[in-house]
Amino acid sequence: MLLFKTVADLQIHIAQQKQNGRTIGFVPTMGALHQGHLSLMKQSINENTATICSIFVNPTQFNDAEDLQKYPRTIEKDIELLTQVGVDILFLPEVNEVYPDNWQTPSFDFQGLDELMEGEHRPGHFSGVAEVVYRLLDIVQPTTLYMGQKDYQQWRIIQSMLTQLSSDIRLKRCVIEREIDGLAMSSRNVRLPEEARMIAPNINKILELARQEIITLTIQEVLLNARKRLNEIAEFTLDYFEIVDAQSLQRVENKDKSESLVACTAVYLANIRLIDNIILR
Ligand code: PAF
C-alpha cells in the first residue's frame, strides 16, 4: 500500500492512474478502523481497479472539543488492516493539507436533511462533514464514493451535496455490518464495558421489531412501542427514535404517504452514544 501525506503527491499519483484508465473507489474515514470500514474497502476493491482510503479526524465536524480530543487514533493498527485487506493507497493528511490558508468553506442547502436527529443533537456536525467530504472529493476525484448505511443521515446529506454540485461521482450506500448478536459495528463499541456490551444488541432487536410492526401498525404505534421498549431498559438513555421518510428525512405521520421509511435511533449506554437504523420498507 502506498501512503501519501500531501495533496500534491497524491494528485500526481492519481493522475497517472487515471491515464491508465483505472477506476478509483474512495473510502473516507476518521480511522480507528473496524470490520464495518473494511467491508466498504472490500466492496470498493471488488468494484474498482484502485481503492483509496483517507484517514483524517476532521475537526470541523466535532461540536465538542473533548470528543475530538478523545477520538480514538490507532494509525499503526489501521495501516496493518488496510494493507491486509488490499487497499492501494492511504491518504493521511494533516489539517493544513485539508484546509489550507486560502480554504473557502462551501455552502450547501440541505433543505432540512440536516435538521432532525443527528442534526438536532449535534449542531454544525453535518456542515463539517459536508465540508470535509467536499474537500476530499475535490482532491481525490474518485469514480465512486463508498459510505456506510450506519450513518444513514450522513449518507443522504452527501447524496444531496453531490446532486447540488451536479457531480458525476457515484455514491454507494453499503449495508450495515453487524456483530453476530446484531450490534452495529462502530469504533465506539470497544469502549463499552462488558455488561453494557451485552445489553447493546437490544437496539437492533428493537429496530427489527419496528420493521415487523410497520406492516400492520400505524407510525405512531410503532414509535410508541419502540420508545417504550428502549426506555424500559434501565441502562439506556434514549436520545431519539424517529421514523422518517428515506428521501426527505422528515418525520412521517402517515406511512402510506411515503414510498420508503427509515427508523433511526441514538441511545446512550454507559455514557457512550450509539446510533443505528433500519430501512422499514
Ligand atoms: O463517517 C465518518 O467517518 C466521517 O464523518 C467522514 C465521512 C469520514 C468525514 O469525516
Q: Is the CB of 93 under 6 A from ligand 1?
A: no
Q: Is it the case that residue 17 has pLDDT exceeding 90? A: no
Q: Is it the case that residue 79 has pLDDT exceeding 90? A: yes
pLDDT at 67: 86
Give the whole-angstrom CA distance, residue 34 versus residue 183.
13
- Domains, the chain, ordered by start: 2-174 (3.40.50.620), 187-275 (3.30.1300.10)
Q: Which residues contact 207 (CB under 8 A, 6 or more apart)?
A: 226, 263, 265, 276, 277, 278
Q: Is it the case that residue 19 has pLDDT exceeding 90? A: no
Q: Which residues contact 163 (CB under 8 A, 6 or more apart)?
A: none
Give the whole-angstrom CA distance, residue 157 versus residue 110.
7
**Mean pLDDT for all residues in the chain:** 97
Residue from 132, 172, 173, 188 to probe ligand 1 pocket by mutation (most atoms less than 8 Å from CB): 132
pLDDT at 95: 97
Q: Is it the case that residue 84 has pLDDT exceeding 90? A: yes
Q: What is the band of 70 on the pLDDT scale with cuts at 50, 70, 90?
A: confident
Distance 12 CA to ligand 1 centre (A): 24
How is residue 9 annotated by DSSP? H
What's at 94, amino acid-wise? E
Strand extents, DSSP E, 13-105: 24-29, 50-55, 89-91
Q: What is the band of 18 on the pLDDT scale with cuts at 50, 70, 90?
A: confident
The whole-number average pLDDT for the span 203-224 is: 98
Residue from 154, 159, 171 to probe ligand 1 pocket by mutation (most atoms less than 8 Å from CB): 154
- Residue identified by cell 455490518 is 177
Entry pTM:
0.97
Q: Is it the case that residue 269 has pLDDT exceeding 90? A: yes
Strand extents, DSSP E, the chain: 2-4, 24-29, 50-55, 89-91, 144-148, 170-174, 236-245, 261-269, 272-279
Q: Is the CB of 89 under 6 A from ligand 1?
A: no
Give the dihedral sign, CA 41/103/122/194.
Answer: positive
Give the whole-angstrom CA distance, residue 129 versus residue 265.
19
Q: Is the CB of 28 under 6 A from ligand 1?
A: yes
pLDDT tens, 23-33? 999 999 999 99
Q: What is the band of 178 on the pLDDT scale with cuts at 50, 70, 90?
A: very high
Q: Which residues contact 141 (CB under 8 A, 6 or more apart)?
A: 14, 18, 24, 169
Q: Is the CB of 58 under 6 A from ligand 1?
A: yes
Q: Is the CB of 242 under 6 A from ligand 1?
A: no
- Active site positions, annotated: 37
Q: What number does the ligand 1 atom closest to the CA of 58 have?
A: 10
DSSP secondary structure letters along 158-191: HHHHHHHTT---EEEEEPPPB-TTSPBP-GGGGG
pLDDT at 61: 97
In contact, 249 and 112? CB cutoff 8 Å: yes
Q: What number does the ligand 1 atom closest to the CA of 61 have?
A: 10
The whole-number average pLDDT for the span 268-278 is: 97
